[in-house]
Amino acid sequence: MRVMEAGQQDSGAARQEESGTAPERRTGQQIELPDLGCEPPPGRPTAPLPVLDTRARGTRFIQLSVRSVLNTPASTHMGFWSINPYVGCEFGCTYCYARDTHRWMIERLGSGADSAELSKQGLLPRRPAAPLPAWEAFEKEILVKSGVAEVLGRTLKPARLAGQSLVIGTATDPYQPAERRFRLTRRILEVLRSYHGLSIEIITKSPLVTRDLDLLQALSQQNEVNVNISLATADPRLARRLELRSPVPAARLRALRRLTQGGVYAGLIVAPIIPGITDDWAGLARLMEAAKEAGARYVIGSALRLGPAARRRFLPVLEREFPALYERYRRHYAGSDMASRSYQDALTRRLNALRQAYGFAGDEASKRRRQRLEAAEPSGKVVDAAEQSVLI
């Protein structure tokens, strides 16, 4: 995931695969689905995909065979390579931008058919009840790329990376609960351990990443390794309203501390920053302070993007949990997936002031780190104090 500092423009098509808002492209009379950089098996499946495991809460883990696993910069229009060991994510964050990646994969498997149609035809495992809607299938029908490490080992050519980063977990959390059993992310790291001179990044909300501390330490001796812990708020009650099954904030901060104490270069991504909910001075300052105490090397923040996939899930939750903000969001995001330029500029000023106060701004290594993740330079537009105090 390329993380933008608030106050920077989203580049539209350049962010399609990551935002989950990539439109279907029509070629003649055919619909060309966005390239996910991960090919399904040749031809349409002739038998139901195997169910590898189930959970009492209704989650199923379904085996997906793949021929390629690397997302190229050409396919995503990003300045880095990426790999996702799973399609879908159990954490169920209401604002998640990646929900459509699951739908796209299902449609590719079925030559355009959705999961309900494939279930009727016996090509996806049937559920006892009716098929799940697309937003819920993303959370409860987790596709497991069981051969991901083996395919990576056969296809990764360091020269092709040309010095660009390889990011693990751009459209799914690589340490979601499925990883406890299937260990795909660990196997990916084991493959990468045989290489030298790579730039490897991980993005996760899960303290399970510390299970692989030994591998991260070994990788760091011969590669550039960064672990990005994602955390939108330090308030556990607020986090639960926004992220149904993600680890509590304290557990993520403990993981960050363990990583940094173990010598792994790691920092905090405050993303998304949700207007009117998690963007207040006190809340952001609490995150900065917690990150500093955990030894974070940097803190990066970005404002909520609300593309179609996220909007269908997030707005009903917003109406239920934060009704006073509902109409304001509808107006604010009516013409764009992005928060307004004035909001982003004000948020950039707020983050910069807090970084300065907590000692992050002066770290040259952290500055270089932020520059690699940023998409563009801030506009520098002046925002008056009244607008900065109430950002939406």
pLDDT of residue 237 exceeding 50: yes
How would residue 27 be classed by pLDDT, with cut points 50, 70 and 90? very low
Domains of the chain (ranges; CATH) run 12-382 (3.80.30.10)
Q: Which pLDDT score, from 0 to 100, does residue 127 have?
A: 60
Q: pLDDT tens, 56-85?
A: 888 999 999 888 899 888 887 778 899 999
Contact of 384 with 316, CB cutoff 8 Å: no
For residue 144, the Cα-to-chain-centroid distance in whole angstroms is: 17
Note the pLDDT of residue 324. 95
Q: Which range is least confidently modeled, 13-27, 146-160, 246-260?
A: 13-27
> Phi, psi (5° rounding) for residue 134?
-60, -40
User: What are the tokens at 42?
Assistant: 């040749």
Average pLDDT in the 204-215 region?
Answer: 98
Q: What is the pLDDT of residues 239-275, one digit of tens each?
A: 999 998 999 999 999 999 999 999 999 999 999 999 9
Q: Is the pLDDT of residue 109 over 80?
A: no
What is the rounded distance in angstroms from the CA atom of residue 92 to the CA atom of residue 317?
12
Q: What is the distance between the alpha carbons of residues 6 and 20, in angstroms, rounded to a whole number?
A: 19
Evaluate if residue 157 carries a pLDDT over 50.
yes
By CB atoms closer than 10 A (0-12, 13-18, 19+), residue 374 is: middle
* pLDDT for residue 44 is more than 70: no
Q: What pTM value is reported for the model?
A: 0.81
Q: Which of 36-45, 63-72, 217-226 has the lowest mean pLDDT?
A: 36-45
Residue 313 per-residue DSSP state = H
